[in-house]
């Protein structure tokens, strides 16, 4: 909860909704470190920080890193056990896809119903597909995955965000799967004048390989000379920022493409943009899509697994692009730029369609699930 990302925004509004509707909510973080909770939470929410920032271990030499990890793991186990004994939770909900964390939760919370909410695709959680080109490592990873699946099969429920991801999980897991999409973090009561253009394309997300921002930059470079007034603004932070800056410089687009820090006013930025581009390799859902669409900003997205095709009605509320096809991405970006009237109508239809992700509608699904498990 120290980052200003999509998962953090969604988690905070779900926690606040539950707390405001009479549920006793305890938020347990383990990698928060000394960072404050960046988003506002309901005053009735109890916040406990186990304070085992595993992410910080990368700065240590391998030998020292191992011993610090063992110490942190023991601390995590001990403190989680104490929390369970103090509060006796009926239901434990985790959004962690780290199997080591889920194992420890299962060991400590055997008297509670455990629900794992997956914000990643099945293949991104398992190890086998990381080594698909290496037969030896793939076999080892498969054995590791099978051990983890044994734990997952003992959970009460697994919640996925899309039908496509649910179908994939069901091929491998016997635990009942529920589909509950993310709710909108905010639906603007009104939006700025839709008679755009601002001549601006927006993208939002972690600056990491999985978000495919390099493909967005390459696609824009193909059409940049045909739309000299247009620019791309990417809001995010991550380890690949310097790589993207080098790519931008390579195409001499420093004045046309900017990487900007995350902002709490992202809904304002959506409204100041003509359309959104999602260039991810895969998405558990695509929170940014429904956020942009709620602002009347149509979206153009790779048809990756699994979210975009379940959110965007191709040609009606936005456009889908063949997964990974940079040339087609460029062509459809240019279509959006050159067809302003159609683009604006797409945005209007998108804003109306996206109401189905209203927080009260989505949370009723969660209430039904919690009642079933309690």
158 and 212 together in one domain: no
pLDDT at site 343: 95
> What would the two tokens of residue 344 be?
């604006």
133: exposed, middle or buried (Cβ count in 10 Å: 0-12, 13-18, 19+):
exposed
> What would the two tokens of residue 158 be?
């697994």
**When comparing pLDDT for 166 and 107, which is higher?**
166
pLDDT at site 368: 95
214 and 282 together in one domain: yes
163 and 206 together in one domain: no
349 and 369 together in one domain: no
The answer to whether residue 252 sits within a structural domain is: yes
User: What predicted TM-score, i.e. pTM, was given to this entire model?
Assistant: 0.84
367 and 337 together in one domain: no
Rounded average pLDDT over 47-74: 85
Q: Domain of residue 324: give its range.
A: 200-357
pLDDT digit string, tens, across residues 79-88: 999 999 999 9
pLDDT at site 285: 84
364 and 316 together in one domain: no
pLDDT digit string, tens, across residues 247-303: 999 999 999 999 999 998 899 999 999 999 999 988 878 889 999 999 999 999 999
Give helix 326-338 / helix 213-223 axis angle, nearest 10°. 60
Rounded average pLDDT over 340-345: 94
The answer to whether residue 1 sits within a structural domain is: no
Above 60 in pLDDT, residue 110?
yes
Give 62's pLDDT tier (boundaries 50, 70, 90): confident
363 and 352 together in one domain: no
Rounded average pLDDT over 12-18: 93
365 and 331 together in one domain: no
Question: 321 near 300, Cβ under 8 Å?
Answer: yes
Question: Residue 250 contacts by C-beta under 8 Å, 6 or more apart in sequence?
Answer: none
The answer to whether residue 165 sits within a structural domain is: yes
Check which CATH number belongs to the domain holding 117 and give it: 3.40.50.2000
The answer to whether residue 193 sits within a structural domain is: no
179 and 204 together in one domain: no
138 and 100 together in one domain: yes
The answer to whether residue 194 sits within a structural domain is: no
The answer to whether residue 67 sits within a structural domain is: yes
What is the number of domains present in the chain?
Answer: 2
Exposure of 59 in the CB half-sphere (CA atoms within 13 A): 4
Above 70 in pLDDT, residue 131?
no
Above 70 in pLDDT, residue 89?
yes
Above 90 in pLDDT, residue 23?
yes
Separation in Å, CA 285 to CA 146, 165, 183, 303: 25, 9, 11, 12
């Amino acid at each position: 909860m120290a980052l200003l990302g999509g998962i953090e925004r969604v988690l905070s509004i779900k926690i606040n909704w539950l707390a405001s509707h009479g549920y006793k909510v305890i938020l347990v973080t383990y990698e928060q470190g000394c960072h404050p909770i960046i988003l506002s939470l309901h005053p009735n929410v109890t916040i406990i920080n186990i304070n085992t920032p595993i992410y910080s271990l990368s700065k240590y030499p391998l030998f020292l890193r191992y011993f610090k990890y063992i110490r942190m793991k023991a601390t995590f186990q001990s403190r989680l056990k104490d929390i369970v004994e103090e509060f006796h939770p009926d239901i434990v909900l985790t959004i962690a896809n780290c199997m080591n964390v889920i194992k420890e939760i299962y060991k400590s919370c055997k008297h509670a119903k455990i629900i794992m909410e997956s914000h990643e695709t099945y293949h991104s959680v398992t190890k086998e597909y990381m080594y698909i080109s290496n037969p030896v490592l793939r076999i080892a990873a498969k054995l590791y995955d099978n051990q983890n699946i044994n734990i997952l099969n003992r959970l009460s429920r697994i919640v996925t965000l899309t039908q496509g991801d649910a179908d994939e999980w069901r091929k491998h897991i016997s635990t009942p799967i529920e589909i509950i999409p993310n709710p909108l973090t905010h639906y603007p009561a009104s939006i700025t004048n839709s008679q755009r253009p601002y001549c601006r394309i927006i993208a939002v997300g972690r600056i990491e390989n999985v978000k495919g921002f390099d493909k967005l930059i390459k696609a824009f470079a193909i059409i940049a000379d045909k739309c000299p007034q247009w620019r791309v603004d990417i809001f995010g932070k991550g380890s690949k920022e310097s790589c993207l800056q080098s790519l931008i410089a390579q195409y001499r687009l420093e004045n046309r493409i900017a990487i900007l820090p995350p902002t709490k006013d992202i809904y304002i930025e959506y409204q100041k943009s003509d359309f959104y581009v999602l260039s991810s390799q895969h998405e558990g859902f695509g929170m940014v899509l429904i956020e942009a669409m709620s602002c009347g900003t149509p979206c153009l997205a790779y048809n990756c697994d699994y979210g975009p095709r379940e959110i965007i009605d191709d040609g009606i509320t936005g456009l889908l692009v063949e997964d990974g096809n940079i040339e087609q991405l460029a062509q459809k970006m240019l279509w959006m730029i050159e067809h302003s009237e159609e683009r604006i109508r797409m945005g209007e239809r998108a804003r109306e369609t996206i109401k189905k992700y209203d927080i009260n509608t989505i949370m009723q699904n969660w209430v039904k699930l919690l009642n079933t498990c309690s």
